[in-house]
Amino acid sequence: MPTNLKSHCDLASFSVNIKKLQHDSDWLLQECNVQDYNVNILLVNDPEIQALNKRYRDKNKPTNVLSFPFADGADESLQHLPVKELGDIIISVESALRESLEYGQTFQERMTWLVVHGMLHLLGYDHERSRKAEKIMFSKEKELLGKLNQNRRIKMAKLAINVDHVATIREARGIMEPDPVTAAAICELAGASGIVIHLREDRRHIQDRDVYLLRETIKTKMNLEMGANKEIIQIALDVQPDMVTLVPEKRAELTTEGGLDVVSQMKKIGKVINKMDKENIPVSIFADPDIKQLKAAKELGATFVELHTGRYCDALTEDEQAREFELIAVAAEEAVNMGLRVNAGHGLNYQNTEPIACLETIEELSIGHAIIAHSVFVGLDQAVKEMLAIVNRAEYALL
Ligand code: PXP
């Protein structure tokens, strides 16, 4: 096995697909023409990497990655090495987690970046040597990461979590808890890539205070779901979320019941998109997997569509579910071909998410009810991690 990957940490609480990391590292060895060589990757915590950093680099602080070439200073062709060993890459998972939050990456993406970075150091690249060496290393890094993603055809599907249901419980009592702001922070710490909230006209769950506070506290990406309502549009323009998702809203419904009918409201929806455009807020349209609606969304200048997965999730028979799945798969393909970016959500749970996450056209899943419901029994952190494991597993199935 060219990549020997070991961990000194308990990885249960980190959302990382180790097989994929190993696969990425093997691919890198091949791409860099050193597939006959072995490389050791060791995952450690901050204190362990700090001790190594102090001992070998005289720097008494944790760092993200350390590379120890088997034969430091060997000629770059590696021809005279007595054994086919490239060396060791040590990665601190704690530093990687902090950085993934800081840079808005998934933990897996950060870990992949660190493997690429560490591998290039083993191959003689060194960004600390000079400005020129830095440029060469970073451009190689970019090239390899680009190829890795191309090789895989897509980036990993991301998981955005809707915390409306936490606010629903709070509102049932009309008191201060549980707080969706706290819930959002826990979701992010557990590895979510974004937080979704729906500010409804009737304020049945999320309140204005939540929206403003969450704008201050969300570290990943804030997706504000909303109807095309004048007052809510004004709040969105004021709050400046990272994106908005336009949904149909009826007062009597329990939850959003279907996709937005863009075709019959071109003027109204077009106006909202224009307003958001002026503030550089990307718009997503929550749409049924219906090509007419997707074309209309594209015509109006939406950046994303979020495909409504509700009918697929509610299907009562396997045949019906397969038919609904096919509609989503085809619609996602068509949307991407039109130049739209595609998200999906509604009704996804621990049983039905994996096939949707396997669709290489879908960037992000928006999931709320299933995760919050499960969290009642296992805790929110665990509920998020279990869903992330499903999404990560799906990505590995694509390789
Ligand atoms: N996407 C949209 C547009 C929604 O309105 C909702 C429900 O608030 C979701 C996703 C999440 O659905 P669920 O709570 O069933 O996971």
Structure tokens at 52: 């190594």
Q: Across the chain, which distance is largest between two alpha carbons, in Å?
A: 75
Structure tokens at 122: 């083993």
Q: Please work out whether the CB of residue 366 comes within 6 Å of at least one atom of ligand 1.
A: yes
CA of 152 from ligand 1 middle (Å) equals: 28
Question: Are 272 and 318 in contact, with CB atoms under 8 Å apart?
Answer: no
Q: In the annotation, is 23 catalytic?
A: no
Beta partners for 197?
Answer: 224
Spatial CA neighbour of 357 closest among 385, 321, 332, 384? 332
How far apart (Å, rounded) are the C-alpha atoms in residues 11 and 338? Answer: 40
**Predicted pLDDT at 396:** 59
The residues, ordered by sequence, that sit 6+ positions from 201 with a Cβ below 8 Å of its Cβ are 227, 229, 231, 232, 249, 251
Classify domain 158-396 at the CATH superfamily level.
Aldolase class I (3.20.20.70)
Contact yes or no for 15/191 (Cβ under 8 A): yes
> What is the predicted pLDDT for the residue at 153?
42
H helices, E strands: number in the chain: 16, 12
User: How far does residue 308's CA lie from ligand 1's centre (Å)?
Assistant: 9
Tell me the C-alpha to C-alpha distance, in Å, between residue 47 and each of 9, 68, 83: 11, 18, 31
For residue 369, the ligand 1 atom closest to its alpha carbon is: 14
Q: Which residues does residue 223 pair with via DSSP β-bridges, in sequence order?
A: 196, 243
Residues constituting the chain: 399
Comparing CA positions, the residue from 82, 144, 94 lying closest to residue 119 is 144
Does the beta carbon of 368 sit less than 6 angstroms from any atom of ligand 1? yes
Domains of the chain by residue range: 3-150, 158-396
Tokens of residue 263, six digits: 């075709």
Rounded Cα distance between 125 and 133, Å, is 7
How would you write the pLDDT of the chain (399 residues) with one tens digit per residue?
Answer: 689 999 998 877 776 777 778 878 988 998 998 988 999 999 999 999 999 999 999 999 999 999 998 876 555 556 666 678 899 999 999 999 999 888 877 788 899 999 999 999 999 999 989 999 999 999 999 999 887 765 544 557 899 999 999 999 999 999 999 999 999 999 999 999 999 999 999 999 999 999 999 999 999 999 999 999 999 999 999 999 999 999 998 766 676 678 999 999 999 999 999 999 999 999 999 999 999 999 999 999 999 999 999 999 999 999 999 999 989 988 998 898 788 999 999 999 999 999 999 888 899 999 999 999 999 999 999 999 999 999 988 765 554
Q: Respond yes or no: is residue 198 known to be catalytic.
A: yes
pLDDT at site 23: 79
Nearest Cα neighbor of 348 from 376, 306, 302, 380 is: 306
Residue among 223, 346, 350 whose CB has most ligand 1 atoms within 8 A, to mutate: 346
State the distance from the centre of ligand 1 to the C-alpha of 367, rounded, in angstroms.
6
pLDDT at 106: 75
pLDDT score of 13: 72
Decide: pTM greater than 0.85: no
pLDDT at 255: 67
Amino acid at residue number 25:
S
Ligand 1 contact, 310 CB (< 6 A): no
Nearest CA owner, ligand 1 atom 11: 346
CB 305 within 8 A of CB 284: yes
**What does the alpha-carbon distance between residue 199 and residue 225 come to, in Å, rounded to a whole number?**
6
- Residue owning tokens 């694509």: 398
Ligand 1 centroid–CA 323 distance in Å is 21
Q: Considering the domain 3-150 in this protein, what is its CATH number?
A: 3.40.390.30
Ligand 1 site, residue 325, Cβ cutoff 6 A:
no
Residue with structure tokens 């970019």?
A: 142
The reported pLDDT for the residue numbered 202 is 94
